[in-house]
Structures are given as C-alpha cells and as structure tokens.
Chain A
Amino acid sequence: MSVRAPVEYAGLTSIKGPLVCVEGVGGVGWDEVAEIRLDSGDVRHGVVLEVAGDLAVVQVFEGTRGLGLEGARVAFGGGPMRIPVGEAWLGRVCSGRGEPLDGGPPVLGTELREIGGRPVNPAARATPRDPILTGVSAIDGLATLVRGQKLPIFSVGGLPHLELAAQVAAQATVRDEPFAVVFAAMGVTNADASMMRDRLELREPSDDLVLVLNTADDPLVERITAPRLALTVAEHLAFDLDRHVLVVMADMTSYCEAVREISSSRGEIPSRRGYPGYLYSDLASIYERAGRIQGLAGSVTQVPVLTMPGEDITHPVPDLTGYITEGQIVLAHDLHVRGVYPPFDPLRSLSRLMRLGAGGSRTRPDHLELAAQLYALVAQARRVADLAEVVGADALSESEARYLTLVDAFEADFVEQGVDEARTIEETLDRGWGVAATLPARELTMVSEAALREHYPGERGRDEGPAG
C-alpha cells in the first residue's frame, strides 16, 4: 500500500497524547501515511498531521500507549493511503484497511488508487436515472432508489436498520446490466457482523459482493478508511468496468464518532456537540462520491445507514447527512413497537430523485401517480387519526373511518414483509393499489382515469364503492 520504498527513522522526539514527533525527516508530505514499528514487533498506523522543516507530527490511530521515545521506528509511506483496485475484490471480505478476513490471499489489483478519491467535475456528471430495485415494497414503491443517488436510512438504536441494510444489499438488482454491491460495516458489534454475513450469503452465487468489515473492537482508523476504501473499489468497478455499484455503509454514526474522537485528540476547536466544524465537508467527501458520469455506463449509488442519537433528527450526524444526501428513508420507533418490519415512516421519508428513477418503462407507468396518491392518503389518515384521538373514533364519519382502515391495510399489506422476502416491482405496485382500494375510486384524485381503469382492483366501475 505504499508507492516508494519507505525510509525509516529511528526514535521519536516527543510523545503527547496520540501525537508523536519525528525529527530529521526529509521529503515527508502532509497527509502521508506512516507506520510506527515497535521493537516488540507491534505495528501501529498513523498519518502526518503537520510538517515543519525537518519535523513531522504524526497522529497514531491506535494510540500511543506503551510507546517510548526509544525502541520505535517510523516509516513514511510516500503519500496518502492507496489500495489496489480491480475485479479481484468481488467475492472478498476484508478489513477497513483492505486486509483479507476470509482466509484468502491479499487482494492484488490492476493499479493502486488513493482512497480519498478525486472530486467529480460537476460539469461532467450525468443526472441519476433508472432504479435499483431492492425488493422491499416501502423503498421501491414510495422512495425509489435511483442509480447515482445517495439515499440514507435514518434509524434509532434498537431498530432493525442493519437487517434492512443487509436485506437491501442482498436483494438489490438492476435489470440486465452488470451490477455489484460493496458493503462497508463500521463499528458494528461482532454479533451484527455475523448476522449480516449470513444474510449476504444470498448474494454469493452471483459473486458480485465485496464486504468491508470494521467491528466495534477494530482500530478506530479503520472506521475512517473503511468507507473510503469501499468507495474506491466501487468507483473503479463503476467507471472503469461499467458496472452499476451499490455501496451500503453502516453505521455512519460510528464513523462520525470516530472523526470526532480523532478531532478532539488533535485538540481542534469543536463545533456542535463536540463534532468538528469540518464534519460537513468530511461527510461530503464520502457522500458526493455517488453519481454517474457522462459517457460512462456505470454508476455509484449509496445507501448510508445511520442511527439518530435520542431519535433526534437535528443531531449533527443526521442533520449534516440530510443536507448532503438526496432524501432519506426514516425508520420509526412506534412502528417497530407495533411489530411492523420494516418500520418505514412514510411521512418523513422521501427520495428526492424518485421522478428520475420510477414511472414509465423504468418501473411501471402508474408508479409515480400511485406513490403520490398513497403519500396523500397516508397523510390524510394521520390527520383523521389525530382527530379520532380528540373526538373518539365513533364520532368519525363513514368516509373518515375508512382512513383508519386504510392505515392498517397500508402497514399490513404494503409495508410489512419478511426480512428475506423479495418482491417484484409489479407485486409492490399491485399491493399499493390494494391499499388505495380501501377507498372508493372517486376519492383517488391524484391518479389518472387510465391508471384507475387498469389497476383499481375488482370488476366494478370507478364510481362504485370499495372493492371486495
């Protein structure tokens, strides 16, 4: 992972917190990777935080505990961290630094790339279009994931967001085009890691999965490198090898906590809730790596997963994420308590690029109207439910009462599905029509006559009561 034969410097000048100073260095640049090799054989990793004259300040990610001024040698890597890229990654499991965790040989690639990536020229981007279908009705039907989009899942500790992320990664497809999934797990428990590995076995036959695993007990630095490594591999698969690549990254809150920890050990001035002022730019350097490029066939699509501490959507992690990503899928605690999986909150969820990925021949011509209608119905149902709280359900008119039935149908027949159940888009949309048909056709004002004739269930004409 280095570009030139590293020069070693023996001995440290000073150690303070996680920072070590090395004197007498030459040709060391800022942001260069470094290895600190102890006489004990222990190897630690770091990065150059500052260079002044012949003095380099290195931050040691694993901490400086047990380090002495003598007995350590520092080797500089000659540049920012690089990894090999190529198809050899498919089917592999590795750590956040790219070391194999599957017992296989180290991954050798066709070339080395810096994991920080390069910004895509905004004038060379192509707007996202066409869907990635996940087989999950709530997502495909109401918050369609579009190729080149970044669409996060906002969740809360204790909810099944990792199950949902694994389900999306396991089931995702793009019709007949070449596809790959890169899954980066950051700071997850070992139990969750093995759950996800089991779920993702579904993908094994297609041999198009890369798994980057950083568990809670792994080094902090690998939490920082894991998403970047995943994206570097993904970008190569997408833009050099013409694949559509879905990158799932969970849990971005653990990632941000690692950024905060490193920032505070550098003594930087904190901004909101102790997170550094550059967290927005840092997250953007990850999320903005989603996209399509004019003239190239592939795409990088991201589904970051994060937990909102205290279910607070204004917490810096969801807040800054929401400012960068293109919509969000919000999971709600009360739905989970009622046993709904996935606990998808339709009112707070939105895929901003849905119109570019759904409808017409991309999914089905009635898709966008149906989705708009369902959103409106669920919003209206929410108001009726609030009213029922005040006046009592008995005081509702017949047409109002139907909305309460509608919500039940929406949750039970549309949203609710098994963790390993993959639905086709046709099934998803037909189920959506089933929900809408709780109401008489004439109340479905957001769908066209043609769509009603074709999809409204039952034999009866559009001015009749509900079907069935």
Chain B
Amino acid sequence: MSAGSVHRVSGPVLEVEGLEPGMLELVEIGEARLPGEVISLAGQYATVQVYAYTGGVRPGDAVVATGHPLRATLGPGLLGGVFDGMLRRLSGAPALLADGARLPTLDERREWSFTPTVEPGGRVEPGAVLGEVPETEAIAFRARVPHGVSGTLEWIAPAGSVTIEEPIARVAGVDVTLAERWPVRRPRPVAERLRADAPLSTGQRALDLFFPIARGGSAAVPGGFGTGKTVLLQQIAKWCDADVIVYVGCGERGNEMADVLEEMSRLEDPRTGRPLLDRTVLVANTSNMPVLAREASIYTGVTVAELYRDMGYETVLIADSTSRWAEALREVSSRTGELPAEEGYPAGLATALAAFYERAGRVRTLGGDDASVTILAAVSPPGGDMTEPVSAHTRRFVRCVWSLDPDLAYARHYPAVSWRDSSTRDAERVGEWHVARHEPGWAARRGRALRLLADADRLESIAQLVGATSLPDRERVTMLAGRLLREAVLQQSSLSANDAYCSAAKQEALLELALDLHDACAGVVERGVPIARIDELDLSPATRARDVAGPDDAAAVQAVAEQLRGEIWGLA
C-alpha cells in the first residue's frame, strides 16, 4: 500500500501524485474513501477514474492504494440480494445512497451450515468441490478449491456452522474460506469450452419456436424505447429453465428494479416451489447512480454468473442495457482526452464488446462439470438507429439477435420480436438436439412457419395496394395463416395469467394448431370452397387458445385445433 494526494479534479477523473500504483489498481480517495481505479500512469501522475460523485473532492485530499484491482467478494449470500455495480449490497442499505458508503457485499457474521463432501488426505486441484452450504432452499453453494491453490487437502472442517471468512479447509498450507475475491474484469478460468447445442427454454414462443438460443449462447435484444426490451428480458429472467439468473439493471430505471424485486419475491419457481428470488442475483446500477459503477456492473454481473457456473450450474446473465454501459465508457474516455472513434465512443468499443460476449459459453469447469453462462443483453439504439456503433458491433459478436420492431409495438403486438429482422445462429444445433430427442419435425416446422410469415407479409403489402379481394383464394389462405401465426402463436402477453409463461408442449401445440388450420383451409379451398365461406367461420377460439389454456395445457389447445379443423373441413 502507498499513499499520495489529489492534484487535479475534473469530474470523475483525477490526477494523483505521490503514489506508485499499478495499472487498474483500486485506490481510495479522501475521508469518504471514494473508490477509484488507476487508468493511466505518466511521470509523477497517475490518472484515476472514480466510482462516485466527486463534488467537493479537492487537491491535497489523501489517496490510498489498496494493492489490488477492482474486485468482487464472492460467496454465499449473493442469491436473493440486490447489489450496485461494484457488488456493494443495497438490500438493507439506507434509502438515499451516500457516496463512498461502506456497504459490504456479504454478511460476515451470518452462520452457514457447512457439509464437507470430501475426505482430507488426497491431492486437490483448483475447482475441486470441498463441500456445500444451502445458500437458498433452491440452490446449494458449492465451496471449491480457489484458483491458484493446489496440493494436499490437509484439513477439512467438519459438518457445522461457518461464517464466510472462517476456514473450511486447508490445502497445501493455504486456508480456504467460503468467500473469495475475484478481479471482475478477468474471466474466471475453465477447463475447456464445449459446443453449445441444448436449447435454453425461455418460455417465450417467439424465441423458443423461431429464434432459439443454446445454453451458453449469447443474444442481443435491440429496440427503441417502448418496444419491449425490458419486459421480454424480465419474462425470461422469471421463466427460463436455468438454475441461476444474474439480472443487471445497467443505467436503467429504479422503478423497474423495484418491480423485478417485488415480482421475483412473489412468484414461485415452478421447478422448486420456492420464490424466484431464491435463484436470482440482482445488480442494480440505475441511470442516476455513478456512471463508472455502471460501467463496472456488466463485469461484476458476468463474474457472479461465472461463479455459479463454476459450481456446475446453468446460469443466465441478463444485462439491460449494454448501450448504457457503452455510454459510460464513452463518458470516461472523453474525460481522459482519449481520441474518439465513431460517435465519440472510444476506439476500443468493439474489442470491449467482443470480450464481454466471449464470457458466454458452455464449458467443462475446473471441477469437471458441464455448465454454462448464457448472455442476454438489451441494446438501446439512439433514435432507433440500428447502424449506430453499439448496435452494429454487437451484431457481430452475438449468436442471436432478437430484434424488436417499433411498428409491432405500436400495434400492441407483444412481444414485438420481428420475424423479419431477428436471427439465430443456434437454430441448426438446436434442430439437431431435437432430432436426437426424437422430434425430427422441429426444424421443418420452424422453416415452414417462417416462410408462411414472410409470404403473408409480402401478400399483405400487395393487398394494401390492390385490395385483398383481388388476390386469388390460395394466396388469401396464406394471409390467413400469417394472421393465425401472428395472433395465435407469436403474441404472448406478459400480463396474462395463463400465458406469461408457455411450456414447450403448449408451444408446439399452438404452432401445430396454426399450421393445421392452414392445411385445412388450403385443403378446402383446393376443393373449390370459396374463401368467403372460411371468413364466415368464427376462428377466434384459435387466437384465444393461448390465453384460455393453462401454461402446460397442450391438450386444451389440441381440442381447439380438433374442433376448428372439423368446422373447416365441414365446408367441403
């Protein structure tokens, strides 16, 4: 540790003298001990960016180097909690946040009930599981040999109570505790990267049926304001079939975080019967909180996701919104006089985005488990302009783009996932996965539905010009099928009690319903039945089925299909 003093203050950027820190070392400034990070060194001065409002910081204020980079304390007690971008605990903190307040991440006095899972005496390597504590009723926290430690397991604590800082084991002379510290900007190591092919089930039809993502994949959700990015990501956070969710509110609204917190405490995880909050870590660095902590929040969040991945869990990191993170980068680089590249963003933007999305993946952990981190991130393009740097670069590095269409949102077609502009590079692998599960028709059905949607769009625009009645009946059947796919399958209201979440079985049933009715209509039209007769039928049970049938009730949907199919064929 060394001590120096402030020489120059300009917003969140300081020049400090009399200090010999390393690059990216964490320092503390003034009596309030505001945290800062060394971002450049030149001669006698170190440039420091500060993770707090610097009003009142003056030349001469003391600066203390901590000897380590920005790091997070990782241990049991993260699940169910709310933290800021530096992983300082906000749950239980005062209602108004003070700068530089000491808010420890974890409760150091809390007693955890530890159960060892190995015997002492053998040789252990980093990542090897030593024992576990029930962090929540849904998730066990698995204590592992930390990175950089290996050798003989000399001692292991017996079953009983431990705090996070008490030793639970000794490996080659090193005490191991439940808590560990990790520099958040560095990915946690893995044994090897594996191919991602099993789909993450999100419970959202527009995604699972049409633009699926593999566990360990990455997806961006670009869309202007009000198109539904936050609602979509929150739905996934609630209902996807991962073990652990890390939800990062990065530079967005405080009320939304309060809403997520309330909902997650209220809603029950159908798989464990426990509140969803038991499997969730919330990182909340809202738009009015210090902008540098916002920049860090993305890294903090993905580090926490990697922590649970390393325990063998399937984890999902949700970041809303990465554009706010990029803007934080821009704010800092402009203060340090860095030469700006596109739209004022630093030249390193693309590299930083690429490095972030690389932290997604399915892996073999050091402990030998097969586990994953999936990254889902909102992108908020200024003015809805998809060519701006953050949107454009993000597309290069993610596997799925779930593009939200403002016209669909205006028409209150939710989720406004565009079937034209969205894409997934995981579809083929997910298709193979379905084949292996004896569902060979999956990919063909998806392809047919996407083609129908595109054909219907094309016909729709012709009908706008010439009137629908001048189109041949066969084409009007295609338009009808497009409408069914949009209204009966793609639309899914987050407010619907029955349909906010949709099981795989009900998803398939709804898609088959739409395709079956298309077959039936095409069939009777082919036999000479005029389309006007079909138009007279009341097909509204098809569009109501998603709301009427419970989330797992494929049978109810199939019954509707049966009935309507009968009515249509009855025309012939």
Binding site for B on A (CB under 8 A): 27-32, 49-54, 79-80, 114, 116, 118-128, 148-149, 239, 268-272, 277-278, 280-281, 284-285, 288-291, 293-294, 296, 314-316, 319-320, 322-324, 326-328, 347-348, 350, 352-353, 355, 375-376, 379, 390-391, 445
Contact check, B287 vs A324: say whether CB atoms are below 8 A apart. yes
Instruction: State whether the Cβ of B249 lies closer than 8 Å to any Cβ in chain A.
Output: yes
A128 touches B255 (CB 8 A): yes
CA distance A50 to B282 in the complex (A): 36
Among B56, B91, B253, residue most surrounded by chain A Cβ atoms (within 10 Å)? B253
Instruction: Say yes or no: is B151 at the interface (Cβ < 8 Å to chain A).
Output: no
* Chain B contacts for A294, CB-based, 8 A: 95
CB within 8 Å of A: which B88-103 residues? 90-98
Q: How far is the CA of A269 from the CA of B261 in the complex (A)?
A: 38
B10 interface contact, C-beta 8 A: yes
Min CB distance B261 to A, Å, is: 7
Chain B residues, Cβ within 8 Å of A125: 254-255, 257-258
What CA separation (Å) do A347 and B521 show in the bound complex? 34
- CB B479 to nearest CB in A, in angstroms, measures 15
* Minimum distance in angstroms from B337 CB to a CB of chain A: 9
Contact A291 B344 (CB under 8 A): no
CA distance A328 to B226 in the complex (A): 10
Known: A49-B10, A123-B93, A314-B383. A31 touches B55 (CB 8 A): yes
Contacts A30-B54, A350-B226 hold; do A53 and B287 have CB atoms under 8 A apart? no
Given the interface contacts A122-B258, A127-B255, does A52 sit within 8 Å of B382 by beta carbon?
no
Say if the beta carbon of B178 comes within 8 Å of chain A.
no
Asked if A280 contacts B327 (CB within 8 A), the reply is yes
Interface string of B281-293 (1 = CB under 8 A from A): 0101011110100
Bound complex: CA A291 to CA B82 (Å):
18
Sample 16 A-B pairs with CB under 8 A, ordered by A number: A30-B54, A32-B56, A52-B8, A52-B15, A52-B59, A79-B55, A119-B254, A121-B93, A122-B254, A122-B286, A123-B284, A269-B344, A272-B343, A288-B253, A319-B382, A326-B255
* Chain A: minimal CB distance from B60 (Å): 8
Interface centre among A114, A123, A148 (most CB of B within 10 A): A123
Interchain CA distance A288-B288 in the complex, whole Å: 6
Decide: A327 and B226 in contact? CB cutoff 8 A: yes
Q: Which residue of A lies closest to B340 (CB)?
A: A269
**Contact check: which of B11, B262, B382 meets A127 at CB < 8 Å?**
B262
Please, how many angstroms separate the alpha-carbon atoms of A122 and B254 in the complex? 5
Q: Give the distance to chain A from B387, nearest Cβ to Cβ, in Å.
A: 13
Against A, the Cβ 8 Å flags (1 = close, 0 = not) of B330-345 are 1100100000100110
- Also in contact, A123 and B91, with CB within 8 A (given A30-B54, A284-B287): yes
Do B55 and A116 touch (CB < 8 A)? yes
Partner of A50 from B10, B95, B344 at Cβ < 8 Å: B10
Give the nearest-CB partner of B331 in chain A. A278
For the complex, give the distance between the alpha carbons of A277 and B287 in Å: 14
Whether the Cβ atoms of B8 and A123 lie closer than 8 Å is: no
Q: Are A51 and B255 CB-contacts (below 8 A) given A271-B343, A277-B331, A323-B380?
A: no
Among A28, A120, A281, the residue within 8 A (CB) of B95 is A120
Closest-by-CB residue of A relative to B466 is A390
- For residue B95, give the distance in angstroms from its CB to the closest CB of chain A: 4
Which of chain B's residues has its CB closest to A375's CB? Answer: B412
CB-defined contacts of B261 to chain A, threshold 8 Å: 122-123
Report which of B9, B291, B383 forms a contact with A281, defined as CB distance below 8 A: B291
Query: Which residues of B are at the interface with A, using a C-beta cutoff of 8 A?
Result: 7-11, 15, 53-60, 82, 90-98, 224-226, 249, 251, 253-255, 257-259, 261-262, 282, 284, 286-289, 291, 324, 327, 330-331, 334, 340, 343-344, 380, 382-385, 410-412, 464, 467, 495, 540
Question: Closest residue to B285 on the A side, CB-wise?
Answer: A122
A124 and B95 within 8 A (CB): yes
Q: Are B286 and A119 within 8 A (Cβ)?
A: yes
Q: A123-B82, A281-B287, A288-B253 given as contacts; is B8 within 8 A of A51 (CB)?
A: yes
**Cβ of A118 and Cβ of B96 under 8 Å apart?**
yes
CB-CB under 8 A from A280, the residues of chain B are 251, 287, 324, 327
Closest 5 CB pairs of A and B: A314-B383, A284-B287, A52-B8, A288-B288, A31-B55
Give the distance to chain B from A49, nearest Cβ to Cβ, in Å: 7
Query: Is A355 within 8 A of B8, CB to CB?
Result: no
Known: A124-B93, A293-B95, A316-B383. 16 other contacts (CB 8 A): A29-B56, A52-B15, A118-B98, A120-B95, A120-B97, A122-B90, A123-B284, A124-B94, A271-B344, A277-B331, A280-B287, A281-B251, A314-B385, A322-B224, A327-B226, A391-B467
Beta-carbon contact of B254 and A291 below 8 Å: yes
Say whether B331 contacts A281, CB under 8 Å.
yes
Minimum distance in angstroms from B25 CB to a CB of chain A: 22
Please give, as numbers and ranges, the residues of chain B lying within 8 Å of A379 by CB-CB distance: 411-412
On whether A126 and B56 interact (CB within 8 A), knowing A269-B334, A288-B287, A322-B226, the answer reads no
A284 touches B225 (CB 8 A): no
Instruction: Report A-chain residues with C-beta under 8 Å of the C-beta of B259.
Output: 127
In Å, the complex CA distance between A268 and B10 comes to 12
- B288 pairs with A284, CB closer than 8 A: yes
In the complex formed, the residue of A with least CB distance to B411 is A379
Residues of A within 8 A of B7 (CB): 52-53
A281–B323 Cα gap in the complex (Å)? Answer: 12
Measured CB to CB, the closest approach of chain B to A462, in angstroms, equals: 17
Set A30, A277, A320, A328: member contacting B10, Cβ < 8 A:
A30
A28 and B58 within 8 A (CB): yes
B340 partner residues in chain A, CB cutoff 8 A: 269
Q: Hey, which chain A residues are within 8 Å of B95, CB to CB?
A: 120-121, 124, 239, 293-294, 296
**Contact call B288/A319, Cβ cutoff below 8 A:** no
Q: Chain A residues near B343: list those with CB within 8 A.
A: 271-272
Instruction: For residue A177, give the distance in angstroms from its CB to the closest CB of chain B.
Output: 20
Q: CB-nearest residue of chain A relative to B290?
A: A119
Partner of A122, one of B94, B284, B324, B330: B284
Give bound CA distance, A322 to B226, whole Å. Answer: 8
A391–B464 alpha-carbon span in the complex (Å): 10
User: Which of B15, B254, B257, B382 has the most chain A CB atoms closer than 10 A to its own CB?
Assistant: B254
Bound together, the chains give a CA A238 to CA B410 distance in angstroms of 35
* Chain A residues in 8 Å Cβ range of B324: 280
Residues B410 and A348 in contact, CB atoms below 8 Å apart: yes
Which of A27, A268, A375 is the one whose CB lies under 8 Å from B58?
Answer: A27
> Across the interface, which residues of A come within 8 angstroms of B15, CB to CB?
52
CB distance from B153 to the nearest CB of A (A): 39
A32-B56 Cα distance, complex, nearest whole Å: 7
Contact of A316 among B82, B382, B495 (CB under 8 A): B382
Closest beta carbon of chain A to B368's beta carbon, Å:
36
Nearest-neighbor residue (CB-CB) of A53 within chain B: B59
Q: Which residues of chain A are within 8 angstroms of B57 by Cβ–Cβ distance?
A: 29-30
State the CA gap A125–B259 with chains docked (Å): 9
CB-CB nearest in chain A for B338: A269
| A324 x B253 contact (CB < 8 A) | yes
Distance between Cα atoms of A79 and B540 in the complex (Å): 65
Known: A121-B96, A322-B225. Contact between A30 and B55, CB under 8 A?
Answer: yes
**Distance between Cα atoms of A353 and B55 in the complex (Å):** 34
**Is the Cβ of A355 less than 8 Å from the Cβ of B495?**
yes
Which residues from A are CB-within-8-Å of B249? 122
Q: Are B383 and A277 in contact, with the CB atoms below 8 A?
A: no
A277 surroundings in chain B (CB, below 8 A): 327, 330-331, 334, 344
B29 CB to nearest chain A CB (Å): 11
Q: How far is the CB of B544 from chain A (nearest CB, A)?
A: 9
**How far in angstroms is the closest Cβ of chain A from B147?**
30
Q: Which residues of B contact A118 (CB under 8 A)?
A: 96-98
State A149–B380 Cα separation when bound (angstroms).
21
B102 to chain A minimum Cβ distance, whole angstroms, is 14
Query: Closest A-chain residue to B9, C-beta based?
Result: A30
B225 CB contact (under 8 Å) in A121, A316, A323: A323
Tell which of B9, B262, B331, B384 touches A314, judged by Cβ atoms closer than 8 Å.
Answer: B384
